[in-house]
């Protein structure tokens, strides 16, 4: 069990550029979550996948954000036309479909938009 | 609206002091409750969780928490803190059904002085 991994760990981009983050969940975990954490705040839910189906999206997820989990394994989160307000830590978590619904978090991708 | 409140944003203690961090939630229906810890430079790790049964739950590293349903509270305690407990602590809740997404509190930053 290698845990949840995320890539890249850090990303600096200029306003208006597109960025894509990747999350590899714990193998055999069916549920995958994306959260966003800004300074001084707790993580906020962005979106949820059960296998390859995206079943819930937060209102925080504007139309510039898109997430996929094409084969029910890894997931990507893309931000188009980045804005300075997108600067945050983007966290991925996974959990098993059945059981105690505990989520396991990755190290996060820290995004800085200049 | 669903929310989690952590009353103490910053706590400074000397080693061997006792710790209690408050967490109150507002959430309709049956909930699961969690405390996560984030050590400097590390990812979120589960400290303990409550799903049902005995409202006093014990977690790793000597931490415990008590669920008081009538007060909508899930306070974290440790009788004697160590310098290595310096970290940020997050309380989180999710529903017993649906997507199981977490609602997090804003976190409490604990500093333990050696």
Read off the pLDDT of residues A4-63 as tens digits, 9 standing for 90 and up. Answer: 999 999 999 999 999 999 999 999 899 999 999 998 899 999 999 999 999 999 988 889
Residue of B43, B45, B100 with shortest CB distance to A101? B100
Q: Is B2 part of the contact surface with chain A (CB cutoff 8 Å)?
A: no
From chain B, pick out residues whose CB is under 8 angstroms from the CB of A106. 43
The pLDDT of residue A98 is: 72
> How many contacts does A have with B, using Cβ atoms within 8 A?
59
| Dihedral (CA of B114, B16, B86, A105) sign | positive
Radius of gyration of chain B (CA): 14
In angstroms, the CA A19 to CA A8 distance is 10
Residue B97, pLDDT above cutoff 80: no
Contact state of A43 with B105 under an 8 Å Cβ cutoff: no
Would you state the torsion angle of the CA atoms of residues B18, A107, A42, B1, taken in this order, to the nearest 10 degrees?
A: -120
Question: At A85, is the secondary structure helix, strand, or coil?
Answer: helix
Give tens-digit pLDDT for A60-103: 888 999 999 998 899 999 999 999 999 999 999 999 877 657 89
């Amino acid at each position: 069990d290698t845990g949840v991994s995320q890539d890249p760990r850090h990303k600096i981009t200029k306003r208006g550029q597109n960025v894509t983050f990747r999350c590899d969940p714990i193998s055999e975990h069916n549920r995958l979550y994306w959260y966003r954490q800004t300074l001084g705040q707790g993580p906020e839910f962005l979106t949820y996948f059960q296998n390859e189906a995206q079943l819930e999206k937060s209102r925080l997820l504007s139309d510039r954000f898109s997430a996929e989990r094409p084969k029910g394994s890894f997931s990507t989160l893309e931000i188009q036309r980045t804005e300075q307000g997108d600067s945050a830590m983007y966290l991925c978590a996974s959990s098993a479909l059945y059981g105690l619904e505990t989520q396991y978090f990755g190290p996060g991708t820290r995004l800085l938009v200049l | 609206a669903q929310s989690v409140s952590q009353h103490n944003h910053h706590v400074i203690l000397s080693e061997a002091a006792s710790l209690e961090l408050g967490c109150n939630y507002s959430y309709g229906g049956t909930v699961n409750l969690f405390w996560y810890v984030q050590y400097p430079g590390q990812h979120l790790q589960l400290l303990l969780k409550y799903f049902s049964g005995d409202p006093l739950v014990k977690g790793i590293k000597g931490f415990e928490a008590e669920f008081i349903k009538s007060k909508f509270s899930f306070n974290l305690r440790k009788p004697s803190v160590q310098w290595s407990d310096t970290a940020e602590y997050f309380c989180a809740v999710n529903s017993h059904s649906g997507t199981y997404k977490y609602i997090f509190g804003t976190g409490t930053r604990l500093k333990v002085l050696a």
